[in-house]
Structures are given as C-alpha cells and as structure tokens.
Structure 1
C-alpha cells in the first residue's frame, strides 16, 4: 500500500512573557529576540511561518 504525506494546517496563538517598561518596548523586544518555538507531542517541530504580534493587541491604546 502507498504512503502519502498530507500537509495539514493549524493556526495557533500563544503569549510570551517579556519584561519591559512599556507595551511598545515589550513588542520591540519580542521582535529583537526572535521567534517562539513550538514542538509537537512527538518532539517534531512544525514547519510554520513567522510569529507576529496580534494586531488588535498592538493597536489597543488601553492595554498597557
């Protein structure tokens, strides 16, 4: 019987705890530090795109 690798897509989100003086500084530190690693339960790393800050969070003036 043939074996097929079927590409599947899953959208995920997470948070990253960053010490900073302001929300803007925390966002900049996130971009400076690089991406957050994600591992499947079988210890494989998924082939994923780049992480980016949630646009709603970044543009919300009330979130400090």
Structure 2
C-alpha cells in the first residue's frame, strides 16, 4: 500500500519508498523549451516548490 508523503521533499525518496506522487515530469519539457535564464517559482506554502526543484536536480544530474 502506498503512503502519503507528508513533509517529504526529496524526489528520489518518494519514488524509491513507494509514496503517492502527482507526476510533474512533463514540466521539465516546458522548462527546457522556455529557454529563460532565470525561473521564478511563485506558489503558496506547501505547494511542491522544493519537491519540483528536487525532481529537476535528479533529472539534470
């Protein structure tokens, strides 16, 4: 049974430990195609900003 990732923001841990995850990997394609030098992620608290950055870190590493 999958667990809820309350308070977790490490993408690798979420995937390896079988947590629920709303797949945002398609977002990577948008970031690459945009071509901007700087990205500003403005979202409310607890909206996945750190998790998205972790996903990007693992993708580009």
* Same-fold call, TM cutoff 0.5: no
Which gives a bigger RCO, structure 1 or 2 (Cα 8 Å, sep 6+)?
Answer: 2
Larger of the two Rg values belongs to structure: 1
Greater helix proportion: 2
